[in-house]
Chains A and B, each alone.
Chain A
Amino acid sequence: MMELVFALAVGILTASGVWLLLRPRTFQVIIGLSLLSYAVNLFIFGMGRLRIGAPPVLENTEAVDPALYTDPLPQALVLTAIVISFAMTALFLVVLLASRGLTGTDHVDGREDGQ
């Protein structure tokens, strides 16, 4: 059941993100991208399946039993993705501010529809 909740969560985050991605205002797109990156991060993280109480921090160092730990690989991927998505948000935000200043509009195309 936890899996279903997790899947629905990813779905709702995706849907909200996609909806915002298709909106005409730059700020909406930035929020949308952030929501979408939550969804994608969770998705990649889920690749290691959901395990409770099995963090990939080794307890005894002699004979390691991989079955005791959750998959560390998706976690490593997501960890860098979190930092990069911050960088991406920052870049887009600055581009959005500059574009708002230069074009006088916050439409994603730099001009209002029909102009």
Chain B
Amino acid sequence: MSSGMPLLAIVALPFIGSLVAIFLRQNARNGAAFLAGTIAFCCMVLTGFQYRAVGRGGVLRLSVEWLPTLGLDFTLRMDGFTWLFAMLVTGIGLLVVLYARYYMSPADPVPRFFAFLLAFMGAMLGIVLSGNLIQLVFFWELTSLFSFLLIGYWHHNASARDGARMALTVTATGGLCLLVGVLLIGHIVGSYDLDDVLASGNRVRSSSLYLPALILVLLGALTKSAQFPFHFWLPHAMAAPTPVSAYLHSATMVKAGVFLLILLWPVLSGTEAWFYIVVSAGLCTLLLGAYAAIFQQDLKGLLAYSTISHLGLITLLLGLSSPLAAVAAIFHTINHATFKASLFMAAGIIDHESGTRDIRRLSGLFRFMPITATLAMVAAAAMAGVPLLNGFLSKEMFFAEAAAFHIDSLLDHSLPYFAMLASAFSVAYSLRFIHGVFFGPPATDLPRTPHEPPHWMRFPIEFLVLACLLVGILPAMTIKPFLSTAVRAVLGPDTPYYSLAIWHGFNEPLLMSVIALIGGIALYWALQRHLKKGIDGPPLVRHLKGQRIFERVLVTLSWKWARSLERLFGTQRLQPQLRLLVAFAVLAPLWPLYRQGLEAGSRPGTAFDPAFLLLWIVGSLCAIGAAYQAKYHRLAAMVLMGGAGLVTCITFVWFSAPDLAITQLLVEIVTTVLILLGLRWLPKRIETAGEGLTMGVRARVRRVRDLMLAVASGAGMTLVVYAMLMRPLPDTISRYFIENAYSEGGGRNVVNVLLVDFRGFDTFGEIVVLAVVAITVFSLLRRFRPAPESVAAPEQQQVQDAHDRASLDRAVGDTLADYLTIPAVIMQWLFPVIITVAIYLFLRGHDLPGGGFAAGVTMSIALVLQYMAGGTRWIEARLRIRPILWMGLGLLCAASTGMGAWLFRHPFLTSYFQYLDVPAIGKVPAATALLFDLGVFAVVVGATVLILIALAHQSIRNPRPARRAYTPTMQAVAKENA
């Protein structure tokens, strides 16, 4: 283990470069390419230097603690295998950047392209170098995201958008599965650290969670690597610019799935489930991909299917669970990246220089671009597995493994034949690529006259083809040390003996190769006639379109089902929502009740008092009456509700809660005033005669159902409350509050000490909420538009005015003015009295029932009474009440009292108290909590008065009526009554 700082640089540099590239000018093609190239080069060189450390089997690590309690650290890690992959990502990245510099049109926003490309490179390096599984999944999803952005780079193009969306949906869903799988693995192992996981292979494989974890991880890997049945997204991803196809969709991102399988190979492989799932997925993909590739008319489509098929080959190898197969898989991963990237770039050049990628239109290009053609031919030969090229070596290893014996099953026995068949297919499509494009009569109807590309555009291909040749001819001198480091890092002590030689003598694999080559040529020749017809897509399975199935599934999921769910649970209608909530609340407790039953409590009950029963008979009648009357007789309902409130209030007194009783009583008063003020603006609802007869069946059903729900929830509450009351009170924190209320808080009224001292922070929150509500009400009412029906003066007032008009000695409005003369005088006289009561309640609050809340409500009642007595205009001419100021000062007072504690280095809202000797009164307690309570008082006064006055002001505001939103028809009225 040595310093891992370079690892951080390797991962971070591309992201930084991406950020910089975003800010380049739209047309800064050279600048962006230069930036991207430099970064890729730096990363590659940095990675290269690490070989000294990992080449001898070492592991580089960098760990930064992030959430140690959850086992989540930011960990970067590099061993021989990941080094090789990082080299692949950075090296091919550099070549692709160079290529893209010439490929991209100056008309495109090129800096954005390079920004995405660099960010992708960073994400890919993040996957490769992650030392933590969750972190790996994070980067995994990032690659999906950047792949989405890159595929959709030409977003004006519908097929690019569709392809991008499909790729994202498939790979990101797979990533989600992978996340769950990784969580399961982490759960089994007890750590997400890759080294820990790699060391616990046996534990994972023997766990009962192995199979779900395996399936989920495989879902992630197989979707990413476009394996059957998730392969369909890759051909559609070809709508991306060709550098993207070369880089993401052949060399790197699609290899992430394979990379993960290799990475976790020591942990997950070796079981039957692994063999059957991975081998069959790989085999299907190998055969289907190769078969479909033969019949593609689009050059990139052919390459895409061929990529799918080669990825299938690698997956198949990994599924075999033998160390030699793993070697072959790693080797083929590298080889495929080299020849396929160069082929994609060649296809891009052909497209770029001739204007089309359609094999039916392309022909005889050899004479226009001989160098490119030669390079492409070598690369295609490597793809077909022709000797002296790198593809041949790994294909030989594949054949050897396919022929070897693994698990006694039909699948295993048939492998060699399928391997040869797939190989013959690959020869056929390679031939098609070469023969169809470069040979034959020169094409005549091309959009552009083809010619050789600029030299530097061709350079990446030259380089990669040279690599194919060197590896193919001199494997021992070129790739061997790197490959063996990588293999040792994955397989450890299980590393088998293998030889990288061109000639192993006449053996089974060579025979298979020869058969496949000859078979492939024969197949291509035999298919000539069919291919001439120019039908797109392979015969037999042409109609089995993954895309169409995908679209249908997507529509079903995201449209049909979503719509049904929305209909069921949507928030458009309140009643079904509430009904669901209530039903759930009623049903949910049944489960614990069923599991554990209900036993009677042991607490002795309180002695029965008939008066209490009588009290609640009245209270219950009030509640039920309110429920019954609320539709047509709002005033009655309000009065009845007040009755229930009063009974509640008496209950508080009865059971030792004087503070609650006072507050409840006072709040009851303001609530009544509030609703009365509101009723003025609520048009009457007239009960029509014989309503019960017109009520429909559905309405009846609804009522019965609601009644049942209501009764059930009431019964449930009764049961819960009774069960709770009959159980002894456990020892709670209340003991602490009672014992310390006086010694710590300096007050004898424990409830008040709790509010302003022990739980002062909660109370602070409460008064903030109160202030917010008051301001909301105020602002809602500023542009209040009442219903058109209630704009005119109320009925009673109209009668009074008519009476005034009829009497000779009265002016209009006299009755209204005289209406409350005597009570008004009393109310005005009461003003100072009530204020005194408020002050009294406030001051005694800390020791006796009372306090800021009660005093505040009392004070607001005093003010509201004046409004009722004198009328809004009268009172406001005499007394300026500024409730917002009250609230502001109150909040300020409470907050600054709390913050005052900071001056003495105590936490927010720590209180302080002592006794002061006031002349003539004697010792009085003075606590900072009193100041806080003053704040509470002021906020409560301000908020209550603001709400009530804002509503009262509507009467003198002469508001504009709202435009009629809808006119009730006879039909609607009938329904309304239901």
B769 at the interface (CB under 8 A from A): yes
Q: Does A51 contact B655, Cβ atoms closer than 8 Å?
A: yes
A107 to B679, CA, bound (A): 16
Interface string of B722-750 (1 = CB under 8 A from A): 10111001001111011101110000111
A37-63 Cβ-contact flags toward B at 8 Å (1 or 0): 011011101111111111111110100
A114, B975: Cα distance in complex, Å: 9
With A7-B718, A83-B770: A53-B787 Cβ-Cβ less than 8 Å? no
Within 8 A of B (CB), among A1-22: 1-22
Q: How far is the CB of A112 from chain B (nearest CB, A)?
A: 5
Known: A28-B630, A104-B966. A7 touches B742 (CB 8 A): no
Are A102 and B738 neighbours in the complex by a CB distance under 8 Å?
Answer: no
Count, chain B residues at interface, CB 8 A: 126
Known contacts: A38-B648, A55-B849. The answer to whether A45 contacts B721 by CB under 8 A is: no
Question: Residues of A contacting B754 with CB < 8 Å?
Answer: 72-73, 76
Find out whether the CB atom of B773 lies under 8 angstroms from the CB atom of A4. no
Which residues of chain A come closer than 8 Å to B573, judged between CB atoms? 109
Q: How far is the CA of A12 from the CA of B628 in the complex (A)?
A: 13
Q: Which residue of B lies closest to A89 (CB)?
A: B671
Q: Find the residue from B644, B715, B847 having the highest chain A CB count within 10 A.
A: B644
B157 contacts chain A at the CB level, 8 A cutoff: no
In the bound assembly, the distance between CA atoms of A89 and B624 in angstroms comes to 19
Q: How far is the CA of A41 from the CA of B721 in the complex (A)?
A: 12
A5 to B612: give the CA distance in the assembly, Å: 8
Chain B positions within 8 Å of A50 at CB level: 606, 655, 725
Q: Does B538 make an interface contact (CB < 8 A)? A: no
B729 cross-chain contacts in A, Cβ below 8 A = 48-49, 71
**Residues from chain A with Cβ under 8 Å of B749 in the complex:** 56-58
Bound-state CA distance A53–B857 (Å) is 26
B70 at the interface (CB under 8 A from A): no
- Check if B853 is an interface residue, CB within 8 A of chain A: yes
| CB within 8 Å for A24 and B710 given contacts A2-B612, A9-B616, A82-B663 | no
A: interface residue count bin: 35 or more
Say yes or no: A18 contacts B582, CB within 8 Å.
yes
Interface majority SS on B: helix, strand, loop or mixed? helix
Query: What distance in Å separates the Cβ of A53 from its nearest Cβ neighbour in chain B?
Result: 6
User: Are B849 and A57 in contact, with the CB atoms below 8 A?
Assistant: yes
A49–B725 CB distance below 8 A:
yes
What is the bound-complex CA distance between A5 and B627, given in angstroms?
20
Assess A42 versus B574: contact at CB under 8 Å? Given A56-B656, A64-B738.
no
Question: With A73-B734, A80-B853, A91-B776 in contact, do A52 and B656 touch (Cβ < 8 Å)?
Answer: yes
- Are B626 and A35 touching (Cβ within 8 A)? yes
What A residues does B716 contact at CB under 8 A? Answer: 11
Establish whether residues A32 and B627, one from each chain, have CB atoms under 8 Å apart when the complex forms. Answer: yes
Give every chain B residue within 8 A of A59 (Cβ-Cβ): 748
Task: Say how far B242's CB is from chain A's closest CB, in angstroms.
Answer: 54
Interface residues of A in 53-112 (CB under 8 A from B): 53-59, 61, 64, 66, 69-73, 75-76, 78-80, 82-91, 93-98, 100-109, 111-112
Interchain CA distance A3-B600 in the complex, whole Å: 13
Q: How far is the CA of A94 from the CA of B856 in the complex (A)?
A: 22
Min CB gap A27→B, angstroms: 6
State whether B606 touches A79 (Cβ < 8 A): no
Q: Give the distance in Å from the alpha carbon of A104 to the alpha carbon of B847 in the complex.
A: 51
CB distance A58 to B741 under 8 Å?
yes
Contact A15 B780 (CB under 8 A): no
A8 x B616 contact (CB < 8 A): yes
A35 to B652, CA, bound (A): 16
Contact among A39, A66, A80 for B763, CB-based, below 8 A: A80
- A64 (CB) vs chain B CBs: closest residue: B739
Q: Is B965 an interface residue (CB 8 A)?
A: yes
| Interchain CB contact under 8 A, A86 and B667 | yes
Of chain A, the residue at the smallest CB distance from B711 is A15
* Cβ-based interface call for B759 (8 A): yes
A41–B657 Cα distance when bound, in Å, is: 12
List chain A residues, Cβ under 8 A from B849: 55, 57
Q: In the complex, A78→B316 CA distance in Å?
A: 67
Partner pick for A101 among B715, B721, B784, CB 8 A cutoff: B784
| Bound-complex Cα distance A32 to B766 (A) | 23
- The CA of A72 and the CA of B656, in the complex, are separated in Å by 10
Contact B678 A83 (CB under 8 A): no
CB contact under 8 A between A108 and B574, given known A1-B605, A21-B582, A87-B774: yes
Are B710 and A16 in contact, with the CB atoms below 8 A? yes
B718's contact among A11, A38, A47, by CB below 8 Å, is which?
A11
Contact, CB under 8 Å: A86 / B685: no
Residues on A with beta carbons closer than 8 Å to the beta carbon of B627: 16-17, 19-20, 31-32, 35
- Report yes or no: A12 in contact with B582, Cβ–Cβ below 8 A: no
- Docked Cα-Cα span, A94 to B954, in Å, equals 11
* B651 contacts the other chain (CB 8 A): yes
Contact in complex: A97, B630 (CB < 8 Å): no
Q: Pick from A1, A19, A20, A95: contact of B780, CB below 8 A.
A: A95
Contacts known (A27-B634, A64-B742, A109-B573); A43 close to B670, Cβ less than 8 A: no
Give the complex CA separation of A104 and B769 in angstroms: 30
Residues of chain B within 8 A (CB-CB) of A34 are 641, 645, 671
Instruction: Evaluate whether A101 and B655 lie within 8 angstroms (CB atoms) in the complex, with A2-B605, A2-B606, A5-B612 already known.
Output: no
B716 to chain A, nearest CB (A): 8
Assembly CA distance A4 to B965 (angstroms) = 50
Query: Do A22 and B710 have beta carbons less than 8 Å apart?
Result: yes
Contact between chains at B780 and A23 (CB < 8 Å): no
Chain B neighbourhood of A107, CB < 8 A = 976
Taking the closest CB of chain A, its distance from the CB of B963, in whole angstroms, is: 9
Contact indicator B966/A83 (Cβ below 8 Å): no
B578 in the interface (beta carbon within 8 A) = yes
Shortest B780–chain A CB gap in Å is: 5
B607 touching A2, Cβ below 8 Å: yes
- Type the 1/0 row for B685-716, where 1 means its CB is closer than 8 Å to any CB of A: 10000000000000000000011011101111
**B462 interface residue (CB < 8 Å to A):** no
Given A12-B620, A56-B751, also A71-B667 (CB < 8 A): no
Which of B573, B613, B626, B685 is most buried by chain A, counting CB atoms within 10 A of its CB? B626
Q: List 5 A-B contacts (CB under 8 A).
A: A9-B616, A10-B721, A69-B656, A70-B657, A73-B754
Apart from A6-B651, A43-B721, what 14 extra A-B contacts exist at CB < 8 Å? Answer: A1-B607, A9-B616, A11-B715, A13-B714, A18-B714, A22-B709, A38-B648, A42-B648, A45-B652, A66-B735, A100-B683, A102-B965, A109-B573, A111-B966
Q: Give 7 nearest A-B pairs by CB, closest first.
A: A15-B714, A11-B718, A1-B608, A7-B722, A19-B710, A16-B627, A72-B750
